[in-house]
Amino acid sequence: MSHDICPDTGEPCTCDGSEPCTCGCGGCGHTAEEEAAAAAYRESHREASCGDAPDHERKIIVSFDSTFDVMECEQLCLDAGVPGRIMPLPGSITAGCGLCWAMPFSGDALAAFRAATEGRITPADYHQLVL
């Protein structure tokens, strides 16, 4: 099972089903012990390979169905101090308006985003990309 945002914790996830989840949700079918061991290994062997990019290059991309929602997202996030910016939607992602909100790949940024936008706008989807 693969997902960009953990359905259990709401945290960013790199699970592709071939190795344990980084978020610990168990969505990939691995045990918590396997996931913990894999996370410890990845942390101790942190490199800028394509599968494990440094956090400063990894982004959470939030896509929207309308330009209005993206603009509202920007205002809500700026008012709440959520890090990020509007940018053109990367070609690998399809959504209605062609714009997205890009923010750092972190659980704190995602939690702040959700708190700032909850009940106000509805994102089309969440993605994880290396930019």
From 13-17, 70-74, 110-114, the region with the lowest mean pLDDT: 13-17
What pLDDT is attached to residue 93?
86
What pLDDT is attached to residue 94?
80
In terms of residue numbers, what domain contains 87? 58-130
pLDDT at 19 over 90: no
- Residue 126, classed as helix, strand or coil, is strand
Q: Is residue 83 part of a domain?
A: yes
Q: Are residues 42 and 62 in the same domain?
A: no
Per the structure, the count of domains in the chain is 2
Q: Are residues 87 and 64 in the same domain?
A: yes
Cα distances (angstroms) measured from residue 6 to each of 78, 99, 102: 25, 23, 18
- Please provide the DSSP assignment of 31-76 as one string: -HHHHHHHHHHHHHT---BTTB--TTTEEEEEE-S-HHHHHHHHHH
pLDDT tens readout for residues 108-121: 999 999 999 999 99
pTM for this predicted structure: 0.59
Q: Is residue 15 part of a domain?
A: yes
Half-sphere exposure of 41 (CA within 13 A, CB side): 10
Instruction: Tell me which of 57 and 89 has the higher pLDDT.
Output: 89
